[in-house]
Amino acid sequence: MVDLHHINLNRLTTFVTVVEAGSLTAAAERLGLAKSMVSKHMQLLEREVGVGLLVRSTRKLSLTEAGRLFYESSRQLLQSAEQAIEQARSGRAVPQGTLRVASPIDYGVIVVAPVLSQLRARYPALKIDLVCNDHRIDLIAEGIDVTVRLGALADSGHMAARVDKLVRFPVASPEFLARHGMPSSPEQLAQLPFISLTVIPQPTVFQLTHADGRTAEVRMQNTVFSTNTAYATRAAALAGDGVTRATAFSVRDDLAAGRLVRLLPEWSLAESDIHAVYPATAHLPQKVRVFIDALKAATGG
């Protein structure tokens, strides 16, 4: 059995920060330490553990195989310690520390950011780190407490809580429709210039369902604008470039103001769900719990 008296466990926090920040310099900024001090802590930790953990080069910092395993275990240990502290403080019901949240860009900007700001107002001891990106986030590797995911969930082994409904339909600007005409069927819709979101499977193919139960597969024939972010598809639609598939939350104000028009209103894409996903744990951290509750309250989920 390892004698922990010979290992400075405080260095685990520094090690985890170095891995998640991606460099000694970035970790030093997060920790408020000199880069030389962070480097010294890593050298001492490797000496105490007895194996090399980091591979240093002029371009980047990476983990050895032992370092990767040690990082995963160290992060779990720190999470357990944080949960133990939160449990001890649970009577005070005051979330503290940094809540790291990931979200798709449009949902993060429109829905998540305001909710997090309201949480900050309610719990001043809580700090927020919001990461908005339209690629799939690895919670463990990127040190995320909770991520928002739109649509069907992959079997990741994580926990999930439904927070909102995902409603999608085709839209276009009035100026675009004045030039190309209003489609009256899925077949006519398929012939119009299309704005494609490339990060989803089959970006130019989707199925519409009529209010009476009929279905129609739509294969857009004329993609004129492709982008990897939903925020940009909305901007292109507002500029009159073409038709795009939009989420209800992202264009609600545009529809109300007449900047965009819903096409084929009796047809819609299949509804799905929006979830908050977080690592499986015996005790849900209080800061994650209050975020999920606040998000549900804001969306009616």
* 51 and 69 belong to one structural domain: yes
Check whether 70 has a pLDDT greater than 50.
yes
pLDDT above 80 (res 1): no
Question: What pLDDT is attached to residue 87?
Answer: 62
Q: Residue 248 maps to which CATH number?
A: 3.40.190.290
The mean pLDDT value for 91-97 works out to 69
Is there a single domain that holds both residue 238 and residue 281? no
The mean of the pLDDT values for the chain is 88
**Cβ 238 vs Cβ 258: under 8 Å:** no
Q: Does residue 260 share a domain with residue 123? A: no
14 to 27, 29, 34, 59, 142: CA distances (angstroms):
8, 11, 12, 20, 15
* pTM for this predicted structure: 0.66
Give the tens place of pLDDT for each residue, 8-20: 778 888 999 999 8
Do 219 and 236 have their domain in common?
yes
pLDDT digits (tens, 9 = 90+) for 260-274: 999 999 998 988 899
d(CA 206, CA 269): 7
Q: Are residues 266 and 295 in the same domain?
A: no
Which range marks the domain in which residue 193 is found?
168-270
CA separation for the pair 101, 104 (Å, rounded): 10
Rounded Cα–Cα distance for residues 52 and 285 (Å): 32
Alpha-carbon distance of 92 to 29, in angstroms, equals: 31
Q: Residue 55: give its domain's CATH number.
A: 1.10.10.10
Confidence bin at 91 (pLDDT 50/70/90): very low
As a whole-number percent, the residues of the chain with pLDDT over 70 amount to 92
Looking at the structure of the chain, the number of domains it has is: 3
For residues 97 and 154, state if they share a domain.
Answer: yes
Regarding whether 49 and 179 lie in a shared domain, the answer is no
In the structure encoding, which two tokens stand for residue 164, read together?
A: 């909102």
Both structure tokens of 45 = 């930790």
CATH number at residue 287: 3.40.190.10
287 and 155 within one domain: yes
Backbone angles phi, psi at 269, to 5 degrees: -75, 155
pLDDT at residue 32, rounded to an integer: 87
Residue 88, pLDDT score: 63
Over residues 171-193, the mean pLDDT reads 97
In the predicted structure, residue 79 carries a pLDDT above the cut 80: no
Same domain, 152 and 288: yes
Residues 115, 138, 47: CA angle, nearest 5 degrees: 115
Q: How far apart are CA 208 and CA 270, in angstroms?
A: 7
**192 and 148, same structural domain?**
no
Per-residue pLDDT of 95-118, as tens digits, reads 888 999 999 999 999 999 999 999
**Buried b or exposed e, range 39-76, using 16+ CB within 10 angstroms:** bebbeebbeebeeebbeeeeeebebeeebeebbeebbe
Residues 116 and 179 in one domain: no
Q: How far apart are the first and last CA of the chain?
A: 49
